[in-house]
């Protein structure tokens, strides 16, 4: 497996785990377990950061003059990363909404 493919799979794996944890956080909040939801979000950020580090390594490689070859796999990894970021932002807001609704 080429280095770029390994990095793409590292991104996909980490952000996929992050996205799963974010959804688990939403389910915890839906059931009123806000502390557990916050822990899931915190854990998800760790995985998201790992995905970003792998992605940043590719960007730094290209910035230093080493060409990063385009690949459908890398494009998929970046798409998964952006999707996980979007879902994370939305779920964090939904959790706040659950909390506000229950306080009323």
48-82 tens-digit pLDDT: 999 999 999 999 999 999 988 889 999 999 999 99
Q: What is the DSSP string of 85-104?
A: HHHHHHHHHHHHHHHHHHH-
Of residues 12, 23, 8, the one with CA closest to residue 70 = 8
Alpha carbon distance 76, 13 (integer Å): 12
Which tens digit of pLDDT belongs to each residue from 30-41?
999 999 999 999
pLDDT of residue 1: 61
Alpha carbon distance 89, 7 (integer Å): 24
**Catalytic amino acids?**
76
Which tens digit of pLDDT belongs to each residue from 83-99?
999 999 999 999 999 99
pTM metric for this prediction:
0.91
Percent share of the chain, pLDDT over 70: 99
Say how many residues make up the chain: 104
Domains defined along the chain, listed by start: 3-103 (1.20.58.80)
Q: C-alpha dihedral over 93, 94, 95, 98, to 10 degrees?
A: 130
Angle between helices 34-63 and 72-103 (to 10 degrees): 150
**Token output for 87:** 């879902």
């Amino acid at each position: 497996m080429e280095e770029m493919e390994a990095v793409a799979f590292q991104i996909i794996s980490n952000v996929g785990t992050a996205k799963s944890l974010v959804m688990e956080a939403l389910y915890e909040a839906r059931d009123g377990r806000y502390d557990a939801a916050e822990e899931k979000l915190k854990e998800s950020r760790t995985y998201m950061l790992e995905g970003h580090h792998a992605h940043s390594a590719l960007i730094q490689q290209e910035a230093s003059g080493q060409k990063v070859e385009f690949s459908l796999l890398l494009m998929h990894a970046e798409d998964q990363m952006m999707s996980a970021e979007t879902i994370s932002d939305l779920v964090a807001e939904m959790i706040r909404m659950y909390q506000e609704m229950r306080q009323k």
